[in-house]
A and B are shown apart, each in its own frame.
Chain A
Amino acid sequence: MTTRPKRRAHGVGAGAAALAAAALAILSLPGGSAFAQSSAGSTPPPAWQNPNIGVVVDMVVDAHDAEGAGAWRTGGINMRAMELELSSNIDPHASLKANVFVSPEGAELHELYAMFPSLPGGLEAKAGQMLANFGRWSRFHPHATPFASEPRLLHEYAGGGLLMTGAELNWLLPLPYFVQGSFGLYNTITGHSHDPDPAAEGAADPLSPAGIAAEEGCVSHGDHYDCADGIYYDEDLLALRGLDGLDPKTRFTNRRADELAFGGRVNSTVEFGLDWSMDFGVSGLYQPGYKRSQRLDGIRYSKALAGLDATVFWHPLTRNKYRGLDFGVELLANREGYETVVSPTVTREEYLTRGGAFGHVRYRHDETWHVGAFGEAFQARTGDAFLKRRGGIFATCNITHYQYLRLEYSRYDHADNVRPINRVALQYDAVIGYHTHGVQR
């Protein structure tokens, strides 16, 4: 890698690593108190004051032919996530959840939020950094989806799952059936990914951030790249080649109120008899000042994301442990402003509205085997509205409830006049300790 100024230390890496080490050290201390009683009414467990601890390992080995037909390449074992999760009640009113991702590049704070689960009037509040309550798949941890790869639809329009800092208020409406409304206020719209995209790395324009990142051996990680000597953003990579990004910039501090993002979601469920049900929801996110012009003061460009999702579940109650089916579709639309330089003194703002859909089906044949397929089609976020298409099949072997192996094949038609990329991925996941995704299904 060429020498470059180290513009930033690794985000929260060093701090989070220290936090994780400190947390582990504290957790290893014996707890206990004479007055505490376990729920069994016997002696208190020795670590009763400790938080719940869980570790999830998510590894993927993949091979793809992004460099040409028959030229299969692999990145080796990708430790997508070693997720250390700590959670506990703070007091009778609130709980805290922290999620630290550890990878060969360092540690990164993934989620850290306080939750107030029982506010009056059916309200629940969350504040901190969290996977935002938007759409269906954006809220899933990578190890919890039924497929190995992340939907490229989310990569295209949001940079991955919407991991955002802010506050959310969720309201369970006082109705006899389930309807939940959410409102969130966030620093900015930002996504997060743990699934490097061979299409972005292998076939990107060598003078684009993705192309430069591929040449430099950097790994895409949400809105930035993890490189050997730290985090690099698009403009950092472009600067390495003496280039100036034409896009206005999305990162800034000391925000104005109109540079914050806000959004919401309304979701519900309907049941058709005992075995069939459907979850559905509508989501929206809007940030008036998503980007600032780098050339003209006071010019801002907005971004809006809108989503619609529905998932049907067949859980035959008598056989729910070993038989099941779910299928669904998520529609996503993105409207975003861009700055076009007409002349050295004239710029033109342009708004592009693009959209697409992701669908999946999964069948659970028995306690061990799940099989399924997915497909997605969406327009390119920028430039020509090329329709990107991807489809795949997967089979999961649940060795036990706590570990699985998954084999996935996908084919991705990601750019005009470029042959589609075939990819085979083998995923291994295991969990130890305490780990829960609430009522997510």
Chain B
Amino acid sequence: MKQTKNPVWSGSKATARAAAVALVAVMTIGGAFAAKLNVVASIPDLGDMAREIGGERVRVDVLATGREDFHAVPARPSYLPRLNRADLLLNLGLDAEHAWLPALAAEARNAKIREGGPGWVETYPGIRVLDVPARLDRSEGEQHPRGNPHYNVGPDNGKPMARNIAEAFAKADPDGAGYYAARRDAYLARLEKLEDELRARGAPLRGLHIVSHHPDVSYLAAFYGMVVEGSIEPKPGVTPSAGSLQTLTNAARGRGVRLVLHNQAQNPRLPEKVAAEIGATRVEFLNMASAEGEARTWIGLQRENLRRLLAAFEAANKSGKP
């Protein structure tokens, strides 16, 4: 008996075959994605280190672009889906991102990366924290209650940051522990060389007296041996008054301050005015890695900041400023 082909069944088989192929494809793609650790970094510095250490085993997403003041990154709702999918949330800690990141993490519907959760990773352990306030009171300012959180601009702080990230990766993905350790060691060797290079090139800055807009240069100054004579902000985050500016400029003149530093997110008007009043040179430095240019990587950030400091120092010397 001749069997006739059932067109309906044939169509169903084709559909089923296509569905099976699609399912396998989705599972393969999904599996490939699932194999990677989803890492969200608060700032580009941590994103760069995560890529260096995590290599192909991680997918890295960075919230801040590098242009912002990292104390006050605008908390956009678009961050929520990105945080919702994260396995780890790398951040500086020490309340650096307190004004925006904990609130976002709390609303991301992801218990892993909420503050204090297993995926909330602060990268400061192992760093010698500077400027820890002796008195905790808002009369002392608003932003650095647990000590100065701007350690990412200190070239010698890269190693503990990298170790903390590698440790978090190994904990979240034990199968990749060896992979992360090998990449960490390779990166640490590069950082070791970087420190030597920067120390040698930055030698002229030793003993240089500086003033900053916000107290975010302590680690940078400590590395190069510069002396911080004060900040335009009388306390972290507090807008200066005419009186506090007068006190600062009087003191800065007496101590031979040569450079006035401010970061990329601060209005240059006030530092320019202070620099003009005390006969110093204004210099804009980067207090985090940026989205473009030389400072896209954390290593590039350190080199770029030194380049800017040396250029300003030379300009100050040429102009004959004291």
Contact = CB atoms under 8 A, between A and B. Distances in A.
Contacts of B81: 172, 175-178
Contacts of A318: 67-68, 264-265
B186 to A, nearest CB: 28
Given A320-B69, A402-B138, A269 B109 contact: no
B68 A439 contact: no
Interface in B152-173: none
11 contacts: A39-B93, A117-B111, A117-B114, A177-B78, A315-B74, A317-B67, A320-B68, A321-B69, A321-B72, A367-B239, A441-B75
A315 B76 CA distance: 10
B204 to A, nearest CB: 29
A274 B239 contact: no
B267 A366 contact: yes
Interface of B: 65, 67-69, 71-78, 80-81, 84, 93, 103-104, 106-111, 114, 116, 122, 125, 138, 142, 146, 237-239, 264-267
B107 A438 contact: yes
B103 A438 contact: yes
Nearest to A368: B239
B265 A319 contact: yes
User: Closest 7 A-B residue pairs measured CB to CB?
Assistant: A118-B111, A317-B67, A178-B77, A315-B74, A318-B67, A269-B77, A321-B69
A50 interface: no
Contacts of B68: 317-318, 320
A417 interface: no
Contacts, number: 101
Most A Cβ at <10 Å: residue of B77, B237, B239: B77
Most A Cβ at <10 Å: residue of B84, B104, B110: B84
Nearest to B94: A40
A366 B138 CA distance: 22
A117 B80 CA distance: 13
B301 to A, nearest CB: 16
B76 A321 contact: no
A320 B74 CA distance: 7
Interface string A163-179: 00000000010111110
Contacts of A177: 78, 81
Contacts of A402: 138, 142
Most A Cβ at <10 Å: residue of B78, B125, B237, B238: B78
Contact of A274 (B67, B84, B116, B142): B67
B114 A118 contact: yes
Contacts of B265: 317-321
A400 B109 contact: no
Given A41-B125, A321-B265, A439-B77, A400 B146 contact: no
B148 to A, nearest CB: 13
Contacts of B73: 320
A172 B238 contact: no
A319 B268 CA distance: 10
Nearest to B74: A315
Contacts of A438: 103, 106-107
A279 B74 CA distance: 13
B112 to A, nearest CB: 9
Contacts of B238: 400
A432 interface: yes
A436 B101 CA distance: 12
Contacts of B93: 39
A308 to B, nearest CB: 17
A396 to B, nearest CB: 14
B116 A39 contact: yes
